Chains A and B, each alone.
Chain A
Amino acid sequence: MALVTSAQRQRRRIAALLTPGLTWIALAYIVPGALIVVYSLLTPKLGGGVIWELTGDAWDEITSKGRRSDADWGTLGSAAVRALAAAAIATLPLVAGARYLRRSARGALVVATALGGLAGINHLASSYNNYTAVFARSVVWSVWATAVCIGLALPLAVFISSRRSRITKNALLVAVMIPFWTSMLVRTFAIRFVLSNTGPLNNAIESLGLDRQVFLNTRFAVLLGLVYTALPFMVLPLYAAIERSDRAQMEAARDLGAKPPQVFLDVFVPLIRPGLTVGSVMVFVLSVSQYLVPTLLGGGKTNMIANLLDLQFGEAFNWPLGAAVATLFSLITILSLYFVVGRRDGADLL
């Protein structure tokens, strides 16, 4: 009998442990993913499915200019104006706080440029064709949702982390985790119920002697829903990052004469950056692919990417077109994960 080395035994054991799980996940994620790419190049079958004939129709459809599109130069021009305006608006508060900036100045510039660029691209994309318009809307709303989530989650995380008693801390954390784990459907429905035309909110408004308002099926409702469903995903990583951060560094900065805003920007934000990155990515990815929120709060019109996919796979039965949208969407998600998060922070994410 041949001698089995421990290295060989080890390899066999690893293979035995990995194979079932990896195969299952690959079969449910990687193979269907590849299939979607293939489907985007095939001919649609009426009533769902595909005919195995290669065609570029789906890609043509989503990349060619739609009817609404204006003359090129005009669109480009107004996109540039929008970009500049957005960048300027983003820069204003930063200039006001310039004396605290120093090291953060570069980061602020990046943020301003990114916001400006986003506004410009959004303008171009919204007027290009219906598909790019949906993409742009999904991305912009998700960026807004991410920003609002940071604004709400940061104070909350700081608040929880600064509690003295461990019991209080844990209780406050569990209170964040309950919405984190409970059904997305129930949470979205709760917002829909509160905001509905004859719902509790409108009743309360009426009893104050004011007129009923239309809240449901507005941008406001969608943004509110995105923030409501994604907020816990920002609080938990931020809290973990704050707990892990070294308080002594902030005290040292104070001791060396830094003012609170300087401590915040130059010491605190860099310290919790991993948590900010993880939280932002989670909130963004969750929001940009939301189906329930735009469907139940946005009125079921073609609002966001998920609705577009549902439409093509469910109602319009143009699978190749849906597959092309899904491919493009995955590509954007993967690329933005790769570039925004980078390889190092990507490891933190897991």
Chain B
Amino acid sequence: MSATRRGPAAAIGATAGLVYLFFYLPVFVLVLFSFNEARTGGRWTGFTTEWYARLADNDQIKSATLNSILIAVTATAIAVVLGTMLSLALDRHVFRGRRAAEQVVYLPVIAPEIVTGVALLAFFSLVLGRLNDLLGRSAADALRLGRPTVVIAHVAFCTAFVALVVRSSLRNLDPAVEEAAQDLGANPWTTFWRVTLPSIAPGVLGGALLSFTLSLDNFVITFFVAGPGATTLPIEVFGQLRRTISPEVNAISTLIFAASTLLLVGALAIQAGASKRRLRQFRQGDSPSGEAPLPDPQHSPQHTWEET
């Protein structure tokens, strides 16, 4: 566009720089002050790792972390299976009601979390109440909100995101490849395990990492369905930072930030690796012979970014 003219280009560059500063400055300050000696206040007094050491002794934080990981692993394991199945049905078959099914699958992506949270709270309370009546449980050993209800809620939205990611990876797989397997005598089950799954493995793995991150980080829905028994890390941190501003909260926030950044970079590396491998093999196969097939624009690495 106007990028050829110096003025607008400079303005665009300056704005971009400021936006990056805006993105990272608050997080950077947060990380920095997690190493600050002073117990309170925003004045730098000296370097320490004391707050991290204290975290290691904080039983509440430890049990909340354990809870979070347990929930994220369980929810991801279920969501990867359900999401992959959904994406196979939605991408590989044409059937009546597909649009409707698609809309249900993507409901968790667009539904406001807060409404989901309170609706699930109402739903679980009703179901648990009825179950307790049915089983004749007393108030002491009644079924309550806890880890299972959190897992049920997390599986629902994780499934949707896994379906989204796996679908984009299915789109890059020529359906004729699966037909070829069947044509050669493989039944649908064998076709899936020997051909489809190995081909979409990076997508499934990426979906799993995404699902794990989303479950680990989720606050709003968890806040309503966790109950007192299943405090996850974000809920614990929220409680602490509402009570007081302590450097320990900075430290745990830094760790959460680092963990999700690592997970994201891991997920991206897997996908980029897959598309780079495709590209490299494509070039190798291409150069020794004279017959160059047209480059497939879908294989450019940029594609992966757009899909995520």
Chain A interface residues toward B at CB < 8 A: 10-11, 13-14, 17-18, 20-22, 24-33, 35-36, 39, 48-49, 152-153, 155-156, 158-160, 162, 166, 169-170, 173-179, 181-187, 189-194, 196, 198-203, 228, 231-232, 240, 243-244, 250, 260, 263-264, 268, 285, 288-289, 291-292, 296, 305-306, 309-310, 313, 319, 322-323, 326, 329-330, 333, 337, 349-350
Counting chain A CB atoms within 10 Å of each CB, the highest count among B121, B129, B216 belongs to B121
Q: Which of B25, B118, B156 contacts A28 (CB 8 A)?
A: B156
- Measured in the bound complex, the distance between the Cα atoms of B186 and A139 in whole Å is 55
Instruction: Add 19 more A-B contacts to A24-B156, A313-B118, A333-B112 (CB < 8 A).
Output: A21-B86, A27-B156, A29-B116, A29-B156, A35-B126, A175-B23, A179-B27, A182-B264, A183-B234, A189-B237, A189-B241, A193-B250, A194-B26, A194-B29, A198-B41, A240-B305, A285-B112, A289-B114, A349-B110
Whether B27 lies near A190 (C-beta < 8 A) is yes
Counting chain A CB atoms within 10 Å of each CB, the highest count among B30, B107, B223 belongs to B30
Determine the chain B residues whose CB is within 8 A of the CB of A191 once the complex forms: 26
Contacts known (A199-B42, A200-B33, A329-B115); A183 close to B257, Cβ less than 8 A: yes
Whether B253 lies near A35 (C-beta < 8 A) is no
Q: How far is the CB of A137 from chain B (nearest CB, A)?
A: 15
Determine the chain A residues whose CB is within 8 A of the CB of B152 once the complex forms: 24, 27-28
- Measured in the bound complex, the distance between the Cα atoms of B152 and A76 in whole Å is 48
Determine the chain A residues whose CB is within 8 A of the CB of B85 once the complex forms: 17-18, 20-21
Determine the chain B residues whose CB is within 8 A of the CB of A196 once the complex forms: 42, 245
Q: How far is the CB of B133 from chain A (nearest CB, A)?
A: 13
- Measured in the bound complex, the distance between the Cα atoms of B121 and A28 in whole Å is 10
Contacts known (A14-B89, A175-B20, A177-B268); A183 close to B256, Cβ less than 8 A: yes
Chain B, interface size category, equals 35 or more
Q: How far is the CB of A299 from chain B (nearest CB, A)?
A: 11
Whether B105 sits at the interface, judged by CB under 8 Å, is yes
Residue of A nearest to B100 (CB): A22
Q: Which of B219, B253, B305 contacts A173 (CB 8 A)?
A: B305
Residue of B nearest to A29 (CB): B107
Q: How far is the CB of B153 from chain A (nearest CB, A)?
A: 6
Whether B163 sits at the interface, judged by CB under 8 Å, is yes
Whether A162 lies near B3 (C-beta < 8 A) is yes
Please name 15 pairs of A and B residues whose Cβ atoms are closer than 8 Å in the assembled complex, sorted by A: A13-B188, A28-B116, A35-B119, A36-B122, A170-B272, A170-B301, A182-B256, A183-B217, A185-B217, A187-B26, A193-B30, A198-B41, A231-B23, A289-B114, A329-B115
Whether B1 lies near A264 (C-beta < 8 A) is yes
Whether A330 lies near B115 (C-beta < 8 A) is yes
Determine the chain A residues whose CB is within 8 A of the CB of B272 once the complex forms: 170
Whether A350 lies near B188 (C-beta < 8 A) is no
Whether B15 sits at the interface, judged by CB under 8 Å, is yes
Whether B282 sits at the interface, judged by CB under 8 Å, is no
Whether B302 sits at the interface, judged by CB under 8 Å, is yes
Whether B217 lies near A200 (C-beta < 8 A) is no
Q: How far is the CB of B107 from chain A (nearest CB, A)?
A: 5
Task: Please tell me which stretch of B6-14, B47-55, B284-292 contacts chain A, meaning at least 4 of its Cβ atoms lie within 8 angstroms of it.
Answer: B6-14
Q: Which of B2, B107, B245, B302 contacts A193 (CB 8 A)?
A: B245
Chain B interface residues toward A at CB < 8 A: 1-3, 5, 8, 11-13, 15-16, 19-20, 22-27, 29-30, 33, 40-43, 82-83, 85-86, 88-89, 93, 95, 101-102, 104-123, 125-126, 129, 152-153, 155-157, 159-160, 163, 188, 210, 213, 216-217, 219-220, 223-224, 234, 237-238, 241-242, 245, 249-250, 253, 256-257, 260-261, 263-265, 268, 272, 301-302, 305-306, 308
Q: Which of A25, A31, A48, A313 contacts B123 (CB 8 A)?
A: A31
Whether B86 lies near A313 (C-beta < 8 A) is no
Determine the chain B residues whose CB is within 8 A of the CB of A322 once the complex forms: 118
- Measured in the bound complex, the distance between the Cα atoms of B15 and A35 in whole Å is 47
Whether A323 lies near B122 (C-beta < 8 A) is yes
Whether B110 lies near A22 (C-beta < 8 A) is no
Contacts known (A22-B86, A190-B27, A309-B118); A177 close to B264, Cβ less than 8 A: yes
Residue of B nearest to A177 (CB): B264
Determine the chain A residues whose CB is within 8 A of the CB of B119 once the complex forms: 29, 32-33, 35-36, 326
Determine the chain B residues whose CB is within 8 A of the CB of A243 once the complex forms: 302, 306
Counting chain B CB atoms within 10 Å of each CB, the highest count among A10, A28, A177, A264 belongs to A28
Whether A326 lies near B308 (C-beta < 8 A) is no
Determine the chain A residues whose CB is within 8 A of the CB of B216 once the complex forms: 183
Determine the chain A residues whose CB is within 8 A of the CB of B125 once the complex forms: 48-49
Contacts known (A159-B16, A170-B301); A203 close to B43, Cβ less than 8 A: yes
Q: Which of B86, B107, B108 contacts A18 (CB 8 A)?
A: B86
Whether B1 lies near A330 (C-beta < 8 A) is no
- Measured in the bound complex, the distance between the Cα atoms of B105 and A249 in whole Å is 36
Whether B112 lies near A268 (C-beta < 8 A) is no
Whether B88 lies near A189 (C-beta < 8 A) is no
Q: Which of A190, A198, A292 contacts B219 (CB 8 A)?
A: A292
Determine the chain A residues whose CB is within 8 A of the CB of B159 once the complex forms: 21, 24-25
Whether B110 lies near A24 (C-beta < 8 A) is no
Residue of B nearest to A10 (CB): B93
Determine the chain B residues whose CB is within 8 A of the CB of A189 once the complex forms: 30, 237, 241, 249, 253
Q: Which of B15, B30, B108, B302 contacts A29 (CB 8 A)?
A: B108
Whether B13 lies near A181 (C-beta < 8 A) is no
Determine the chain B residues whose CB is within 8 A of the CB of A169 once the complex forms: 302
- Measured in the bound complex, the distance between the Cα atoms of B117 and A192 in whole Å is 24
Determine the chain A residues whose CB is within 8 A of the CB of B122 once the complex forms: 32, 35-36, 39, 313, 319, 323
Q: How far is the CB of A195 from chain B (nearest CB, A)?
A: 9
